[in-house]
Structure 1
């Protein structure tokens, strides 16, 4: 019995932290209806700032700096205040201008803010972990709960602190004038403003309070596990979102209940299920998906999140740009509205220039960069089918990329080489049917995964697809006998063509270019067909499209299948190009990055994904010539995140946004 009780105690400890983090999540969502993906970074900063203020000296940006060496309580309070101020600043700069923008704009901006904060933290404190200075509650007496069960001082203090914080938030929301204003703004911002409630100020206060709670959850987590790192907020952030949805996002008591339940379920799964310790995260995401299928509003929540506004992913105007930015954006507009570029001769000329580039460029390094531009451009094209054309926000696309890559790798390495003991070079021709079969397998998987998501919309859809993507990654990480786990699969043969090994950057560039031409022709024909028009109609107004006889279920599944097919084909080539794959290639961050490329280039366009990939990869290379970036390479991603925030603020349609109207109306 003591074993069960210990599991329950462990679950309550983690559940208290999850609950506190979920309350922070749901407080912001309840007021502004926004899933804040930067939450994990605010969580992380709470731990880092507390640990830093407790030290006598710390190394920041490579320089030793004297610190005050404060006690835990003072340092924690200051860290919460600093993160709260940062949350308010982020809201004013990045989120406030997007109050009336389509839902995708603030979501993408929050992702960009997450990238900026994580990159700055890596540059400041380093990419590794930092030990927490001391156990601040090591002298707090333990509480015996039985002959074989003891709750340590650190554990009960953490649970008590989380409980008091959640109780304080509940009382604040229901017993104070500001809390009443928050509830009024959450119900109807327009009506609240008409009766004199300063809605923007209320939303800013919600962001500050939510940020402070995120910092508190982060510092409690850091002192519990005795470490901090720039990436430590990623998984707790996902768990907080899961807990908030489980309890009912928008409901403070629901978020607290969801966090406690999630902690208990994970702890019991780890203790009793076979290999439960490695698959407890899968249990969490399976629970999330089942809940979204059968009760999307959660245990105590409401259904309003399961909706999507017409044109919510592509429509909307940005802020008025300044003279310099207007000139730059105007140049892109003129480029994509030039009638000459729409003629077939122009496309042939562009293809000829791409072919000539492969002969002219002598640097193998730059040819490798161009191959990656084509790979990420194709991945963004696959995601663009679902997000840009069909209007379905998918955060699990990397699963299809992974399926294609693992399909061909397992066939060549596990079956042909290790199972049959044959030389893989003699079976070089299998790569070419693998491109088709891998794409079809991934497309079938996309339909199977996509079908359950048809019952959900809006933010729920994004969260559910995120759960599917994470399940695939976790299974690939832990199914060692099949995927070789984190060590990955090595020695995947390079592409060949009748004895000619395509193992040079130049030959691989031409292979990738040929693959890109075929897949672009495939996607463009679909996009300009009746199927593509049906996708666009569903994207712009699903109810009106279905009233006109367009089957939402049929065409959404076709979008998922097409997207998965492209991802699977690219995955097959990617595996043979890299000659090594592992679950680290297919993380949520990669999915977010691909989504950012689609938004950067232009949702619902054919040129946008490649333009976004080119801007991203070339920017990462050229920015290394900036002196500060040379010293701290992580700042490249911070600069890229800032660039994306500016673009979403001033050009939410993307750089190639002007190409969309002809595609949808031509």
Structure 2
């Protein structure tokens, strides 16, 4: 009973933090229908700024800087005000111009802002943890409740602050004039404009409140666990998003309820289930998937929120010097290479020519990495760019192919049966097909529960699936070797000749690219591709035209999985080592950014985006600012993507998008 009570106390403390962050998510989503992924970073900035202000000196940008050494009761309000100003600035600069843009533009912008802020934090404070000063909130002597349940003063403060804050927020939303304006804006923005509500001001204040709540949750988390870290907002941010969906995104009481329920389920699961502590994060994602499958609107949510505007990121802003310049270059390319087939062929010929240039093995491997990311982005492009399905768990397909071939070659043939992989060289080519088919089957399995979902809810469920696969591969040590990864994966061979040189590996990668482009182009230019485009542009109209949307959605997931699995097999043998850290949510976000950068719904766009990004990473290494602050490269990527969404959301190679209509 004492153990149960201790778990209950721990769960309530964690639930208070989740609830605050979930309310921050749901407040903004309820008004502007935006999943602000940057809330995890605002959470982190709140903790960092508080600790920094409490220290006598801090190391910022690599220099020791004197600090005021304030008490937590002064440092926390100052940090919250700073984060509120950050949130308002982000809304004004990055989100407001995209308020009426196609639905992917704000999502990509939110992800780009998240990458920018996380990279900025690592540039300012470095990648190390920043510890909370001792006795930050007074005595550390635990308080004993009910004869054996221990709680600290910090835990009591966390719960009390969270409860008071949420009561005050509820009164603000439901009992004040501003709250009525906020609810009216959430209900109908256009009607709110007509009756004289200052919508822009209401939305800015909503972002300010949400940012302040995120900062407060980060400060409480920091007080409870005693540290701040640049990536500390990632997992709590995801958990807050799960909590908001669990309770009903858009509902403040629902978000608070979801936060508490999620924390309690995780805490008791970790305490009572076998290996519960290892899989406690997966428990939250499993609950998310089950809830979205049976009740997409959540416990207290509204069913109409599981809807989305028609169309993907196919249009966007036009005009401006940047757009005009890129369009001029694209028009020249159209005259020289009017056929998309010619463009694809030119891309492959150029890649083959690079393999025979007198360049170093290092740069040849860089080209291969770009080709791998281009292939992966092409698979994701099938799902997102052509079928219009927001997928944040695509890396799961990549990992299925990579682990399938690695386990078979290393753990089964070599370790279990003592067979030299060189004698079974042909198995690599069998695995390309088998690994792709297995990932394609997994794609259909993952896609089935998402068929009832649209828009942001679809993205949230796929995110949950992707994170569950990562957690399983991290903890299933007997099969995947867990965080240690699988080493000694052999290079591909051909008739007994090892393809271990960069040029031979590069030519094999180009052949795989050609195969993937053929698969993609054949499908997209068939009736299947036209059905995908119809679903992407208007799913309701597609259903009215007797298109079996469920069937074609599953086919899109399977095709994307097939390409991801095949690429995963090649990736494993190229790297000769894989681990769960190769297949994270950030990698999925990066792939999504690459296809947006190059051009959604194009064949050449994923490769354009991949080559630009990989080349930028290498060239930027020579810049003094990057040498001093390596993470600044990712901050630059965030800035580039924000600018792209504002001025050319259709991507660099948008004019290469095939024109497809139903016959």
1:159 aligns with 2:170: no
**CA positional deviation for 1:361:** 4.0
TM-score (norm 2): 0.98
**How far apart, CA to CA, are the structure 1 residues paired with 2:584 and 2:408?**
23
Match of 2:406 in 1: 409
**Aligned residue in 2 for 1:280:** 280
Q: Name the CA shift for 1:348/1:221 in 2 (closer, same or farther; >3 Å).
A: closer
8 Å contact kept, 1:336–1:656: no
Indicate whether 1:172 and 2:172 are aligned. Answer: yes
Look up the match of 1:259: 259
Q: Please point out which of 474, 498, 513 is paired with 2:510.
A: 513
Query: 2 CA distance for matches of 1:211 and 1:265?
Result: 27
Q: What corresponds to 1:250 in structure 2?
A: 250
Specify the alignment match of 1:536 in structure 2: 533
Using the TM superposition, give the Cα deviation of residue 331 of structure 1 relative to its aligned residue in structure 2, in angstroms. Answer: 3.6
Counterpart selection for 1:473 from 463, 470, 486? 470
Q: Deviations over 1:611-648 (max 9, x none)?
A: 11011111112222332122111101101110010001
Q: Which of the residues 618, 623, 627 maps onto 1:621?
A: 618
Aligned to 2:642: 645
Residue number among 571, 578, 581 corresponding to 1:581 in the alignment: 578
Residue 443 (structure 2) aligns with: 446
Query: C-alpha displacement at 1:499, in angstroms?
Result: 2.4
Q: Following the alignment from structure 1 to structure 2, what is the Cα–Cα distance between the partners of residues 177 and 344?
A: 59
Task: Look up the SS of the partner of 2:180 in the other structure.
Answer: helix
> Residues 62 and 455 from structure 1, CA distance in 2 versus in 1: closer, same or farther, beyond 3 angstroms?
same
In the other structure, the counterpart of 1:315 is: 314
**Alignment partner, residue 340 of structure 1:** 337
Question: Contact 1:332 / 1:656 at 8 angstroms: preserved in 2?
Answer: no
SS of structure 2 residue aligned to 1:274: coil
So what's the TM-score if we normalise by structure 1?
0.97
Given that 2:158 and 2:220 are in contact with CA atoms closer than 8 Å, whether structure 1 keeps it comes out as: yes
Secondary structure in 2 aligned to 1:150?
strand
What are the Cα deviations for residues 258-288 of structure 1, in whole angstroms up to 9, with x where unaligned? 0010111001000110100011111111111
| Distance in 1 between residues matched to 2:161 and 2:340, nearest whole Å | 66
Aligned length: 663
SS for the counterpart of 2:58 is: strand
Q: Distance in 1 between matches of 2:416 and 2:621?
A: 45
Q: Secondary structure at the match of 1:144?
A: strand
SS at match of 2:144: strand
Is the partner of 2:8 in helix, strand or coil?
helix
Q: Is the 8 A contact 1:305 1:459 kept in 2?
A: no
Give the 3-state SS of the residue equivalent to 2:426 in structure 1: helix
Q: Counterpart of 1:389?
A: 386
Contact 1:526–1:532 (8 Å) recurs in 2: yes
Distance 1:152 1:485, change over 3 A: same
Shift of 1:428: 1.3
When structure 1 is superposed on structure 2, of 495-504 and 196-205 the one drifting more is 495-504
Aligned 8 A contact 2:249 2:255 in 1: yes
**Would the alpha carbon gap of residues 657 and 2 (structure 1) be closer, same or farther in structure 2, given more than 3 Å must change?**
same
Q: CA RMSD in A?
A: 1.5
**Could you tell me which residue of structure 1 aligns to residue 66 of structure 2?**
66
Question: 1:310, CA displacement in angstroms?
Answer: 1.3
2:487 matched residue in structure 1: 490
**2: CA distance, partners of 1:428 / 1:193:** 67
Name the residue aligned to 1:303: 303
Using the alignment, how far apart are the partners of 1:539 and 1:345 within structure 2?
A: 26
Tell me, in whole angstroms, the C-alpha distance in 1 between the residues paired with 2:47 and 2:473.
30
Deviations 1:356-400 (A, max 9, x none): 111014211111110011000000000000100001001110000
In 1, distance between residues paired with 2:315 and 2:133?
48
Task: Note the C-alpha offset of 1:576.
Answer: 0.2
Q: Aligned pair in 2 of structure 1 residues 665, 608: CA closer, same or farther (>3 Å)?
A: farther
After superposition, what is the alpha-carbon deviation per residue over 1:72-118, rounded to whole angstroms, capped at 9, x for unaligned? 01100000000000000000000000011111111100000000000
Cross-structure match for 1:197: 197
| Mapping for residues 215-226 of structure 1, pairs under 5 Å | 215-226=215-226
2 CA distance for matches of 1:630 and 1:437?
A: 42
Specify whether residues 238 and 344 from structure 1 end up closer, same or farther in structure 2 by C-alpha distance, changes over 3 A only. Answer: closer
Secondary structure of 2:145's partner? strand
> Secondary structure of the equivalent of 2:442?
helix
Contact kept in structure 1, 2:15 and 2:263, CA below 8 Å:
yes
How much does 1:555 deviate? Answer: 0.7
Matched residues in 1 for 2:606 and 2:302: separation?
36
What is residue 83 of structure 2 aligned with on the other side?
Answer: 83
Report the equivalent of 1:459: 456
